[in-house]
Amino acid sequence: MNTSTLFKGRDVADVITQCVDEEMLTVSWVEWLPRFFVAGIMLFLMLLILGYLIDSFICHKEEPPTLCYRNSLLSKYLLKKCERLRQPYHPNVFLRNRHIQTLLSLVIRPIHCRFDRTYLQMKDKGVIALDWFIGERNRDIAACLNIILIIPRILGNALSVHGACTEASNLGYSAVVFNRRGQGGSELTTPLVKPYSDHTDLGQVVAYLKDMFPNATITAISYGLGSGCLLSYLGEYGSSAKITTAVCISPVYDAKEVLRSGIRKPYSWLLLWRLKQILRRHASAFERVLDVQNVCQSNDLLEYDYRISECNGYSNFDSYWEENNPFRDVDDIATPMLFINSLDDPVCTKDTIAFDLFKAYPNFILCLTKYGGHCGFLENMFQTTSTWAESLAIQYIRASLNFIWHEKRINLHLNNHRR
């Protein structure tokens, strides 16, 4: 073949030079690719920081939480003494997304955290685990006169509420975490899955604490669906309840309606998957009373609850929810309570919040924030201390106890004066 014909008159040296130049360009692009990647990341971070600074110091002005309550001596005192009720909740720009707040609250864990576990046997031979927080200031639990009973969200454990435990311990309180049957790493000894709002185990735990520490004041903090059993207990026992004051963080006011309308994905998937996982873990305990495989084939939370209600002895699903509505005895709740919700909660949406409750009952206060997600209320991305809501909860408990102590002292003085 004629070389001159192949290259059509072009010089061979020119062709070779062109090929070499193209190869050099290709190699040069590969070498520069990591640098472009790093530069892109740096530019993205700079834009985020710039947006954060502009949002924080120029554009963004947070307002204090919206409060809903009925005027009373208690509410006036608490609004005066609880500074956080009057101060804005100001999360950084990265945490003004409901999903980031909610998901981060599920994964953030403390660096160092210690608990001592106590197992209690219930009247029906079921076992409950209590985790006592070991802090720096209250190692002698028996000597403590103030106990905060903490009830995590439905699938939470002691580590998920470490912020409240730490905050309580720093103020000299003893914090103890209530684990539902079969949760928190404990074994399920009875073929029974308690409904969200069943208070029988909690009632026995409160009675145990009062027997062990007769001079101690017992208060409570609950999260999410974990608030159901607390509200049921307070409504059932009324003025005889042994819990002096309580706080509910992101409570679900109508669990049946929330499940019926459907919790947003992926939260419904995550919750259903974890419930099935717990059920499979304790499958041997249900061999004679429940078809675990059938329950685990449920496609949504409402169907799961319908199938699981069979092992609780309910004749139909309506009676199951009627007896486990946490607000069924709300008229009898005599305990001062603070409810903390966010408007952007993806689980308990603002449409499900029972605003009428706080206009009717003088011992209830609702604190409503713009941001916070579900059980989130983080103020920065890598927060390992107490959240804004947990700090408010401890502050509220402290102020409530001071008010109750002050009222008792006045009543005692008046009674002595009359004599």
CA distance 170 to 258: 36
Catalytic site positions: 345, 374
Q: Looking at residue 55, what DSSP letter applies?
A: I
3-state secondary structure of 148: strand
Number of Cβ atoms within 10 Å of the Cβ of 98: 21
| Helix, coil or strand: residue 238 | helix
One-letter amino acid for residue 72 of the chain = S
Residue with tokens 């999903």: 99
Question: What one-character-per-residue DSSP string does 311-365 give?
Answer: GGT-SSHHHHHHHT-TTTTGGG--S-EEEEEETT-SSS-GGG--HHHHHH-TTEE
Strands, sheet with 337-342, edge to edge from the N-terminal-most edge strand: 66-69, 364-369, 337-342, 246-249, 217-223, 146-151, 174-179, 127-133, 115-121
Tokens standing for residue 44: 């993205």
In angstroms, the CA 17 to CA 25 distance is 12
Distance, CA of 338 to chain centre: 15
The residue count for the chain: 419
Which CB contacts under 8 angstroms, 24+ apart, belong to 86-90? 88/62, 88/63, 88/64, 89/62, 89/65, 89/369, 89/370, 89/371, 89/372, 89/377, 89/379, 89/388, 90/62, 90/379
Q: Could you give the CA distance from residue 166 to residue 175 in angstroms, rounded to a whole number?
A: 8
Hunting for tokens 């001596």 — which residue is that? 73
Residue 61 backbone phi and psi in degrees, to 5: -130, 110
Secondary structure of the chain: what % helix, strand, coil (to 5)?
50, 15, 35
Q: Which residues pair with 117 in a beta bridge?
A: 131
Distances (CA, A) of 228 to 68, 113, 174: 21, 27, 23
